[in-house]
Amino acid sequence: MEKVTILGVLLANRTVTSPCFQEIISKHGCNIKTRIGLHTVSDGKCSTDGVILLETIGTDEEIESLAKDIEAIPNAQVQRMSFNIR
């Protein structure tokens, strides 16, 4: 049975936190299959917060290491979704 894990990441104050986040996802790049970034733009202004969805691959330990590294960033939150595929 294959397992799919999606990490949802909220980065507050992303103009400050995104360089650290970028270093972490580069470090764990072999465990990230898909990355989707979402943020609100209105009246030509970008939101200071951003949501990133990461479709991960690898062992549970590798994915947990990625999540813990992201959670160590100040103002970052991580939510996990896991699906078992038959």
DSSP result, 5-53: EEEEEEETTHHHHHHHHHHHHHHTGGGEEEEEEE--EETTEE-S-EEEE
Helix, strand or coil, per DSSP, at residue 61:
helix
**Strand pairing class (45-46; 50-56):** unpaired
Predicted confidence at residue 25, as pLDDT, reads: 96
Predicted confidence at residue 3, as pLDDT, reads: 87
- Amino acid, res. 55: E
Domain 2-85 fold? Alpha-Beta Plaits (3.30.70)
- Amino acid, res. 46: C
Give me 65's structure tokens: 């290491």
pLDDT digits (tens, 9 = 90+) for 12-58: 887 888 899 999 999 999 999 999 998 777 777 777 888 999 999 99
